[in-house]
């Protein structure tokens, strides 16, 4: 094994720990979706605020560059503003997020239906694109009229992702662990 393989196989337990934590977070998202949403919003607020500060510092650094400077300045101000709004009004941020998803789903659905109608004369099976468009519109309307259900669904989707991600990491960690264990008959095993 080369150095990278040795280091990875020795650190299998760190990958397993990450996987276990992801699974715990995913389960937590299902059991306590409200708390999970608050935590996700808080992390988003912190990220946006810090990202805005970094962009402002880059704007100062590139203040003599007429192309970069104004965009970095705008990005920094917007990042800090979005971070502050998210921190001070997390409920508004969460609802705005759901309405953004709803608008995206409705617009996407309309575009898919239009594409299905146009493709009707070119391919067969366009019905599936039409159905996906209808489902997208239905999701968008459901989120628009039931935003709290939309928030709950979003948190649960994050939970599903976290559990699946954790399972994948655990699987990887066990592969790494077995890669570091000498197999019978390998040069690393001492013969009898």
Helix or strand holding residue 36 (H, E) = helix 33-61
Instruction: Tell me the two tokens of residue 78.
Output: 């917007």
User: How much of the chain, in percent, has pLDDT values that exceed 70?
Assistant: 89
Cβ-contact 87, 49 below 8 angstroms:
yes
Residue 183: predicted pLDDT: 56
Q: How confident is the model at residue 168 (pLDDT cuts 50, 70, 90)?
A: very high
Residue 8: predicted pLDDT: 66
Residue 62: predicted pLDDT: 84
Buried b / exposed e over 10-29, threshold 16 CB at 10 Å, is eebeebbebbeebbebbeeb
Residue 175: predicted pLDDT: 86
Residue 49: predicted pLDDT: 93
Cα 100 from Cα 170, distance rounded (Å): 34
Residue 80: predicted pLDDT: 95
Q: Is the pLDDT of residue 89 over 80?
A: yes
């Amino acid at each position: 094994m080369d150095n990278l393989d040795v280091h990875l196989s020795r650190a299998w337990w760190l990958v397993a720990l990450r996987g276990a934590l992801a699974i715990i977070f995913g389960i937590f998202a299902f059991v306590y979706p409200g708390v999970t949403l608050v935590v996700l919003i808080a992390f988003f607020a912190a990220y946006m605020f810090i990202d805005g500060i970094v962009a402002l510092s880059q704007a100062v650094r590139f203040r003599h560059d007429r192309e970069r400077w104004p965009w970095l300045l705008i990005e920094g101000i917007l990042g800090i503003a979005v971070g502050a709004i998210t921190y001070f009004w997390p409920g508004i941020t969460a609802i705005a997020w759901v309405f953004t998803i709803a608008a995206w789903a409705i617009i996407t659905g309309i575009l898919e239906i239009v594409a299905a109608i146009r493709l009707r004369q070119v391919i067969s099976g366009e019905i599936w694109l039409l159905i996906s468009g209808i489902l997208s519109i239905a999701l968008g309307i459901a989120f628009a009229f039931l935003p709290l259900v939309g928030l709950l669904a979003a948190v649960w989707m994050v939970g599903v992702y976290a559990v699946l991600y954790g399972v994948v990491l655990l699987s990887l960690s066990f592969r790494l662990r077995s890669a570091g264990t000498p197999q019978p008959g390998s040069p690393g095993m001492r013969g009898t």
